[in-house]
Amino acid sequence: MKALKKSTVFKGARGPVVLVIMDGVGIGKYAEGDFVLSSKTPNLDWLMKNGVSTQLKAHGKAVGLPDDSDMGNSEVGHNAIGCGRVFNQGAALVNTAIASGSMFAGQTWKELIANVKANSSTLHFIGLFSDGNVHSHLDHLKAMLKQAKAEGIKKVRIHPLIDGRDVPPTSALEYVEPFEAFLAELNAGGVVDYTIASGGGRMNITMDRYNANWDMVKRGWDTHVKGEGRMFASMKQAIETFRAEKPGILDQDLPPFIIERGGKAVGPVVDGDSVVFFNFRGDRSLEITKAFEADDLKEFARGPKPKVCYAGMMQYDGDLGIPRKYLVTPPAIDRTMGEYLAATGIRQLAISETQKYGHVTYFFNGNRADKFNEALEDYVEIKSDVCPFEDAPRMKAAEITAAVVKAIESGKYGFIRLNYPNGDMVGHTGVFPAVTIAVEAVDEALGKLKAAVEKAGGIMVISADHGNADDMYEHDKTGAVKCGKNGQPNAKTAHSLNPVPAIVYDPSGTAKARLSSAKDLGISSLAGTCIRLLGYEPPSDYTPSIVELG
C-alpha cells in the first residue's frame, strides 16, 4: 500500500479532521413524520447554514444495492463511506449467484445436500423472513427451497425470524400467508415435507449483534435447535395469539414459538442435519453462527451441540473465517481510507457505542476486523445499555462526545471518526417522543464537538449512513399519512430512501472549501472529502470529493 500524495493546494488544518456519522438522520421528503425537521436542532441548523453543505444519496445503487428502490443500511453505508467507492453488496451478489446457478453449483451447496441424503436427515433454513433486502430476501429462500426439491431433498424445516423493522412494523401476516401457499405447492403430491418449524421476532431471538445481548441468541438456540418453547399449530396462529395477548406489539418483538405435530416440535435440529443461515448481512449473523460452530461456547449454556453441516449465505467475517462454509463470496473490498491513512502515517481514532462500534471499525475498513497499523489506530467501544432503546433514547451520545472532545484536545489524532446511533436505533422503535429526544441528543453533541474543533483548529465533516428518523410516518402513494383505527399515524420503523446531509465546517477557513462541480454524489464521496481536508490527494478511482479547496 502506497502512501497518499500530498496536496498542492492545501497542506491540512492545524487540528484533526473529525467525521461525524449521525446514524439514521436523513433529509425528509415529507414534513409530517420527519422527526429530524420537527426536533430542536439549533446546532445542526447552524452548521447547515454556515458550513459548506449538500445532500448525498445513501440508498440503492449509490451504496451497491441492486436497485434504487432498496433502502440503504448501516453496513453498506459504512462500507461506502470507508472505502470511497461503490461495491456490489450482499443482495446483488446473491441475486447474481442464484440467477447464474453458481450458488447451486458451488461446493458448499453440494455438501449441504449430500449430507442430508447420506443421513436421510433434514435441511433447515434459519433467517430473516422478509423482502426488505437489508439482511435477507424471501426470494432467496424460495429459490433454495425449489432447488432442494429439484435435487430430491424430502424434508425441510424453516425457522423464520419475523421482521417488522425493514418492512412495515406489523406486516408479518402479509408474508406468512403467501409463503404458506408457496409451501403448499411444493408439498403437493406428498413427495416432500417442507414446513415452518419455529420462529420469533428478530429483536427477541437469534439476531443479536456485537455481543450486546447473548440471551437473544440463547432463546433462538432453544427455539430453533432444541425445539423448546410455546407450541402452536401454525405460524399464523402464533402471531395472532401474541397480538391478542399484547395489543400493539411490533413484529420485531414477537416472542418465540414452536410449531407442533402430535404435541411434539416438528423440526428441532439433530445430528446429521444440514443448516443454512440465509441472511447475507454479517452483523446479526455472527453470534448464531458461533453457537453452531464453536466447540467451546462460553456465552450461554448451549447443551450438546448437534453434529450438523452448517453454512451461512455469505462469509460474515473474512479475517476470522466465519462461517467455515458459505454459499456466496462477499465483495472483496480493498484500499479503504483507513488503510491509506495508516500507510501515510496518520493516527486515527474510531469510536462509537456497542450498537455501532463494528460499523466505524469492521465495516468502515471494508469488512476487516484487524487494524492496519496497531501503532496508529485506536478503537474505542462504549458499552451500550441493554434495554429497549425507547427507554434510553439519548443512548451513549454524551459519553461518545466526552471521549471525542478529549481526543481532539489531546492533539494525538489526525483523523477521528465516530457514530451516533440514536437516529437509527431509536427510529426503529417507532416511539415518536423517544425519537425526538434521540435526535436532540445528537444535536447537543454536535454543539460540543463544534466548540472543541474550533478551539483545536480542526475541520468537521458531518453526514449520515442512511435516513430513518426523517421518515417516521407511513404515507400512501399520494403522500398522505396513513393512520390507524385510533386516528394516530402509523409508525414507519424502516430506513428511509431519503438523501442525507453532508456538511464541511472549517472554522478557521484555511481550506477555502467550496462545493465541487460533481453531481449526484453518494456517501462514498465522504472518503475523498476527508482525505482532501487532511491535505492529501484522494486515489484517482475514489468517488469525487464534495468540496474543492484553495
Q: What is the mean pLDDT of residues 199-215?
A: 93
Q: 234 an active-site residue? A: no
Q: Quickly tell me which residue has 423482502 as its cell.
A: 131
Residue 211: pLDDT band (50, 70, 90) is confident
pLDDT digits (tens, 9 = 90+) for 6-35: 999 999 999 999 999 999 999 999 999 999
> Residue 448 in contact with residue 406, Cβ under 8 Å?
no
pLDDT digits (tens, 9 = 90+) for 63-117: 998 888 888 889 899 999 999 999 988 888 999 999 999 999 999 999 999 999 9
Q: What is the mean pLDDT of residues 220-246?
A: 98
The pLDDT of residue 345 is above 80: yes
pLDDT digits (tens, 9 = 90+) for 128-157: 999 999 899 999 999 999 999 999 999 999
Q: Amino acid identity of 302?
A: R
Q: 178: burial class by Cβ within 10 Å (0-12, 13-18, 19+)? A: exposed
The pLDDT of residue 209 is above 90: no
At the top level of CATH, which class does the domain 91-328 belong to? Answer: alpha beta
Chain center to CA of 116: 32
Q: What is the mean pLDDT of residues 348-373?
A: 95
What percent of the chain is modeled with pLDDT above 70? Answer: 99
- Give the whole-angstrom CA distance, residue 57 versus residue 521: 6
CATH, range 21-88+333-548:
3.40.720.10
Instruction: Return the pLDDT at 319.
Output: 57
Residue 294: pLDDT band (50, 70, 90) is very high
Instruction: Return the pLDDT at 89.
Output: 85
**From 110-114, 401-405, 442-446, 488-492, the region with the lowest mean pLDDT:** 488-492
- Give the whole-angstrom CA distance, residue 276 versus residue 35: 39
Instruction: Return the pLDDT at 318.
Output: 64
The DSSP string of 365-400 is TTS--S-S-TTTEEEEEEPPPSS-GGGSTTTTHHHH
The pLDDT of residue 283 is above 90: no
Domains 21-88+333-548 and 91-328 fall in the same CATH topology: no
Instruction: Return the pLDDT at 416.
Output: 98
Q: Quickly tell me which residue has 501515510 as its cell.
A: 344
- Give the whole-angstrom CA distance, residue 534 versus residue 504: 12
Mean per-residue pLDDT of the chain: 96
Catalytic residue among 74, 384, 496, 516: 74
Instruction: Return the pLDDT at 4.
Output: 98
CA angle 379, 78, 4 (to 5 degrees): 75
pLDDT digits (tens, 9 = 90+) for 396-410: 999 999 999 999 999
- Give the whole-angstrom CA distance, residue 231 versus residue 96: 38
Residue 46: pLDDT band (50, 70, 90) is very high
Cell representation of residue 153: 431433498
The residue extents of the domains of the chain are 21-88+333-548, 91-328
Q: Quickly tell me which residue has 463470496 as its cell.
A: 329
- Give the whole-angstrom CA distance, residue 386 versus residue 326: 31
